[in-house]
Amino acid sequence: MRLRFMLFLYNGSSSLYAKVFKRTKKAWGLSVDDFLNYPDDSLGYAVGEFYRAKGFDIMPKLENHDVYHVITGTDTKIHDEVAMQYLLMGNGKRSLYMYAMVLIGTLIYPEFIRYYLFSYQKGKSFYPFYNIEFKNYLSHSLLEVQAFLTQKLKYQTK
């Protein structure tokens, strides 16, 4: 029952979020095949594989969110989507949508609170990426993008 409720909220709110909060953002205009035409080791190809493996359609204007899943290794089950919002909060993102998902997700899935707090700390450990337009980095190596985003850890420990 709670899964259906969260899926209803998530699916219904995603398109509304894109219309209201991303109204000036341009969709990338890429298909799954376009992503899969990037070099095998690239971020673009990894995103294409993500779409293909999950059987997902591309949600225009929300492509960056799917990139976040790829670069952070966060799955897409509903409690993982809540964890992603915690990760983004830890990374510095601030939005009404994010706070609502964190609050509602925590209340509905309290048994994942340790995972959520871990995700928050994980987000803090990354170089701030929540505001990067990843379309500009699709041809870059996925490993290089991930290494750049985790460099914050290296510099904090020295």
Query: pTM for this one?
Result: 0.86
Give every CB contact of residue 37 below 8 A, 6+ residues apart in sequence.
44, 45, 48
Give the whole-number percent of the chain exceeding pLDDT 90: 73
Instruction: Answer yes or no: is 98 within a domain.
Output: yes
For position 77, what pLDDT does the model report?
Answer: 95
Considering only 77-86, 133-142, 146-155, which range has the smallest mean pLDDT? 146-155
pLDDT in tens, 115-129: 999 999 999 999 999
Residue 21 maps to a domain? no
Residue range(s) defining the domain that contains residue 82: 2-10+29-157
What pLDDT is recorded for position 16? Answer: 61
How much is the pLDDT for 15? Answer: 65
With a CB cutoff of 8 Å and minimum separation 6, the contacts of 6 are: 78, 104, 105, 108, 109
Chain segment 4-47, per-residue pLDDT in tens: 877 777 766 666 665 665 667 899 999 999 999 999 999 999 99
CA dihedral (126, 130, 133, 134) positive or negative: positive
Taking a C-beta distance cutoff of 8 angstroms, is the pair 138, 42 a contact?
A: yes
Q: With respect to residue 43, please indicate whether it lies within any of the assigned structural domains.
A: yes
**Has residue 71 been placed in a domain?**
yes
Position 135 in a domain: yes
Please state the rounded mean pLDDT for residues 84-94.
97
Q: For position 158, what pLDDT does the model report?
A: 46
Give me the pLDDT at residue 114, please. 98
Mean pLDDT of the chain: 90
Asked whether residue 19 is assigned to any structural domain, the reply reads no
Domain count, the chain: 1
Q: Smallest Cα–Cα separation from 67: which of 147, 148, 150, 146?
A: 146
Residue 83 pLDDT exceeds 50:
yes
Given a cut of 80, whether residue 62 has pLDDT beyond it is yes
The two structure tokens encoding residue 134: 């990843």
Residue 117 lies in a domain: yes
User: Is the residue at 17 inside a domain?
Assistant: no
